[in-house]
Structure 1
């Protein structure tokens, strides 16, 4: 167990804490939840950076990091879907969650074929993740209906667009392996 992996585990620990605090009758719950999410997003970047920098990459860490990232995003979006209770937040949130499921399955399948490099994380995936984190942070920061939340919703739509773009890029890269041409 190394420090980068402990940061990833810390990110997983933050997830239920964020949910509990979001539903407490606290005036400052939005600020606390946004802070927790921001801290989790920072550890998402930091654990990978430190693992590479200190040469502490492990198979367990490589498995756990994307799991923690997807859990963090999906749970936060789930809380926001319930809090906003409208289609205009639900739609991009479900696009993002659905894409994560599709790409996780695609990466697993491609790894079984020994072709995981074809669907490795790209620059577009990193940009998409940044917009997701910023949008969720802004949406958690204030109660539904406030201006910062509207800005967060706009960024969420941009993240959803980037999510679809990156998903189609990964699917296009995997297409020759998904639909191999029949040999004669």
Structure 2
């Protein structure tokens, strides 16, 4: 009988840079040995997600559940839940997963669903966070790791990182500065959460 692991399922839509940061931290810090956790699968809703290829390069199992194959948000979420639940997840980690999830999906994973958002929540929920922070004259910006609830980007905060907004910043330069901090705090927050499961 093999060891029972706390399985982590990571959901992505794009490049998978936060997924890769999590995978590298899990390997570097031996999450399997230290907290009995492993990344069981990386699932994307987009066939063109470069993160899927990156996950395979990192030796992680991958799956594709294209949202365009379903005629409703509920039907997609049901298919996605089936793909996730096949791995008996202790934790479902959103890493650049660009779909708004139904209340039923969120309730199904209550307490086990986390996200990273590129702003200092509760400020700038939703999209275009970096440009909105610049337009508002913010002196600092950052990223937030939080539990997911039915309210978009409003769940209990697990970790935050702050970066300066510099004179002459564009949305892209600010995004790059924030992303480097996302790659630092997301693995830390997930690792700390695994200790509590």
- State the TM bucket, normalised to the shorter chain: under 0.3
Normalized per residue, which structure has more helix?
1
Normalized per residue, which structure has more strand?
2
With a CA cutoff of 8 Å and minimum separation of 6, indicate the structure with the bigger relative contact order. 1
Which protein shows a greater Rg?
1
